[in-house]
Amino acid sequence: MKTTSVKATSLVWDTEVYPREAIDSVNLRNIEMAIRAGADVGPIIAEKGTSRIIDGVHRWKAHRRVSGDDCMVTVEFRQYANEQELWLDVVRCNRAHGRPYTPFEKLKIVAEGKRRRIKLELIAEALSLPKQEMVRRIGRMAYLRGSGEPVVLKAGFASLAGKTITKEQAKENQHYGGMPATYYMRQVISALRAKTIDFEDHNTQELLTELRELLDEMMKLQTA
């Protein structure tokens, strides 16, 4: 493994290929403390030519926090035949380092692999998942009307699995908290019973009015 030292600012974090949902602040802080203690946290892996980070975004950020944006970092540059090969290596490398992928991240990776028209066997290998598990996860997706693009569903949208959904539904799914809908219903009911909701707040009034209108509409459809 040949490595070289480059300025941290010369590397590129391409969020289009980054497989994680977000930066893990705990992992970032742990790496930062390790660097301050003089530990070797390993090289960052980047694509030769573009300097896109393949593996080591948390290490890259931690080095910059400790030593400044212009610090020197150790990098292993790799060359790829095409974008698919690069993306699979990103998934493979990030699986092997740091926090394990969450179930939702795995679903997102499967969806992204399908969007990139990568064979299921290759995605399964990169994720270290049996193909049967891959098929099960695909069954938990919906598909965008028109484009057929796979959409990873959160728990509250599980009833839409395997169906074609609208852009509006996909947008609501993206901003959804992740818990089943009944969880949020119970939270609202508990707040109402405990009388902890400020009914004089203008924003609260608007939200409750919208909720009532939506419930009235749903009840009419159920009884029609």
Contact between 57 and 13 (Cβ < 8 Å): yes
| Type of residue found at 210 | E
pLDDT digits (tens, 9 = 90+) for 109-167: 988 998 899 998 999 999 998 878 877 777 888 888 988 888 888 888 888 988 999 99
The residues pairing with 167 across neighbouring beta strands, listed in sequence order, are none
The residues pairing with 74 across neighbouring beta strands, listed in sequence order, are 5
Token pair of 32 as six digits? 């930062």
Contact between 113 and 83 (Cβ < 8 Å): no
When pLDDT is cut at 50, 70 and 90, the band that residue 99 belongs to is: confident
| Burial category of 117 from C-beta neighbours within 10 Å (exposed 0-12, middle 13-18, buried 19 and up) | exposed
pLDDT of residue 111: 85
pLDDT digits (tens, 9 = 90+) for 42-70: 999 999 999 999 999 999 999 999 999 99
| Residue tagged 């009944």 (tokens) | 182
* Mean pLDDT (whole number) for 173-188: 87
Contact between 31 and 58 (Cβ < 8 Å): yes
Cα dist from 152 to 80, 156, 164, 166, whole Å: 28, 12, 12, 13
